[in-house]
Structure 1
């Protein structure tokens, strides 16, 4: 989930919140992340993630590697990592650290892969972005259910 946050910062928390809502077990009871299991939160995060997916295709969208974007992705990765670890009754700090590192690594990997694919193929950047979106959503749905 942390790596997915590096690709699309809001999709990972949205998909995780949606999965938690669907499962609604007690693994997050008494943790700071219990709120993620509420329908309003899942719907809000889903709406924000959809906005991000659309905004990524705009020509004025900033590079994901600039400091504010990178920090957002790292924070999102940290959050989902912490939630996953909390749900498994493991160290929240360790989950946050691993999620943040995965997000930063995936940010750079996906950024340079997208640039490479745009340069080496005749596929337009928005199309590659849409393929990246599909990868994030499909992988996120699978990972969130696990």
Structure 2
């Protein structure tokens, strides 16, 4: 496993790119671990197989929704708040599961989400508008980066 601070930040970046990706990946990983690393935690629901299944469906819906033109920007206030909450929750859960500080994990996760949301929003916009790379292609590439980085964070 990666170091807890780096992993918390990275899962935050992933959550900034796709709000449901981080929770789905963490839940899937933790739901397969015995004993439950979040057993006595207020975040124990994340390690539930039922939660993992629900989050996978939501993450799949988000992947489809991202390909629809004229959706809300990830840096608009409601979208950004959701990504910050996702990053903070993911950072906290990952840190707690690894025996690290939950507060530091939450802060790093939220910071990563902020960085990921703005960086990838502007990068995708630049590549689409200035380099004429089709947005659907960029979306698929971003999905691959999201899930590749996410698996690195949770492994």
Residue 89 of structure 1: aligned partner: 99
Q: Which runs of 4+ in 1 moved over 4 A?
A: none
Question: Are 2:21 and 1:11 aligned?
Answer: yes
5+ residue gaps in structure 1?
none
- Name the stretch that deviates more: 28-37 or 1-10: 28-37
Aligned residue pairs total 145
Could you tell me how far apart the structure 2 residues matched to 1:16 and 1:74 are? 16
Residue 59 of structure 1: aligned partner: 69
Could you tell me how far apart the structure 2 residues matched to 1:24 and 1:54 are? 32
> TM-score by structure 2 length?
0.88
> TM-score by structure 1 length?
0.93
Q: Is the 8 A contact 1:82 1:94 kept in 2?
A: yes
Q: Is the 8 A contact 2:30 2:36 kept in 1?
A: no
Question: Are 2:42 and 1:32 aligned?
Answer: yes
Q: Is the 8 A contact 1:24 1:37 kept in 2?
A: no
5+ residue gaps in structure 2?
1-10
**Larger relative CO (CA 8 A, sep 6+): 1 or 2?**
2
Question: Are 2:144 and 1:134 aligned?
Answer: yes
Q: What secondary structure does 1:69 align onto?
A: helix
Q: Displacement of 1:91 after TM fit?
A: 2.1
- Name the stretch that deviates more: 29-38 or 58-67: 29-38
Question: Are 2:115 and 1:99 aligned?
Answer: no
- Name the stretch that deviates more: 66-75 or 83-92: 83-92
